[in-house]
Amino acid sequence: MRQHVNPLSSNFNQIKRIPSLSEMFGDSKLNLHLDIGCAAGEFLFDLALVNTSWNYLGIEIREKLVKNAKLKVLKREINNLYFVFGNANNIFNDKQSKFIIENLKSISFNFPDPWFKKKHHKRRVIQPKFINILSNSLQKGTLIFVKTDVKDLFDYMDCTILSNFYFKTIDKTDFNLSDSFNPNKIKTNREKYVMLNRLDIFERIYIKI
Ligand SMILES: C[S@@+](CC[C@H](N)C(=O)[O-])C[C@H]1O[C@@H](n2cnc3c(N)ncnc32)[C@H](O)[C@@H]1O
């Protein structure tokens, strides 16, 4: 069982310089998807290889995973995939990251850490302040994909996102998602585990209005 990293630790307060999109990607004009809490990035590697018309950015708080993922990107010469280390909340609280939010077409929060105890809810990645930062700079029409196997966490995230006037839910069937970030319906590692163990998955898609 892995030890969860406390995102509120002061270790994550210092934000390194974030490279520009043209430093991150071969073609900075492609649609950009952000995966928050991407772990070792396997999901993004799969996506980047099959869906070369998108750029993929992963943010992860475990530094070793990010270092290894970056080495793998270099070794495989993948030019539509980039990883950033740090606490996503702190990264986007920093003004230098505004350009990332402004350029996103979609964001995924796949199976975020649940932090079950009430006193630890403030460590959950989706927080009102974070959603506010996103709503201030995201383009209209940007999608947020949320998935978890923890009902209490789902309700918390759903309530936090919908408390912001600029987001509403959309139904997969009502909306043309064929060009969305994951047309091949690739599964994350946690999702594969959850499916193997026949656990419930709670998911929802939100759009910036
Ligand atoms: C349960 S894992 C899910 C990993 C992957 N998304 C999946 O579905 O298999 C949650 C991941 O989010 C990372 N994480 C937690 N809080 C974070 C934060 N504030 N910023 C960035 N990453 C975070 C954790 O280190 C962990 O790798």
98 vs 117: CA distance, rounded Å = 32
Residue 38 lies in a domain: yes
What pLDDT is stored for residue 3 in this prediction?
74
What pLDDT is stored for residue 171 in this prediction?
87
**Domain limits for position 52:** 31-208
CATH (domain of 124): 3.40.50.150
What pLDDT is stored for residue 1 in this prediction?
64
Q: pLDDT by residue (tens digit) across 100-124?
A: 999 999 999 999 999 999 999 999 9
Q: pLDDT by residue (tens digit) across 159-179?
A: 999 999 999 999 877 667 777
As a residue count, the chain comes to 209
Distance 113 CA to ligand 1 centre (A): 6
Residue 202 lies in a domain: yes
Residue pair 99/28 in contact (Cβ under 8 Å)? The answer is no
What pLDDT is stored for residue 164 in this prediction?
98
Residue 80 lies in a domain: yes
141 vs 122: CA distance, rounded Å = 28
Residue 8 lies in a domain: no
Residue 9 lies in a domain: no
| Largest CA-CA distance found in the chain, in angstroms, rounded | 44
Residue 2 lies in a domain: no
Atom of ligand 1 nearest to the CA of 35: 6
pTM: 0.97
Residue 85 lies in a domain: yes
Residue pair 106/34 in contact (Cβ under 8 Å)? The answer is yes
Angle formed at CA 190 by CA 14 and CA 21, multiple of 5 degrees: 45
Atom of ligand 1 nearest to the CA of 39: 27
Secondary structure of residue 55 in the 3-state scheme? strand
Q: pLDDT by residue (tens digit) across 194-206?
A: 999 999 999 999 9
Residues of the chain below pLDDT 50: none
- Ligand 1 site residues, Cβ closer than 6 angstroms: 5, 7, 36-39, 59-62, 87-89, 110-113, 125, 188-191
In 125-201, DSSP assigns E strands to 143-148, 167-170
Count how many domains the chain has: 1
Residue 77 lies in a domain: yes
Distance 49 CA to ligand 1 centre (A): 22
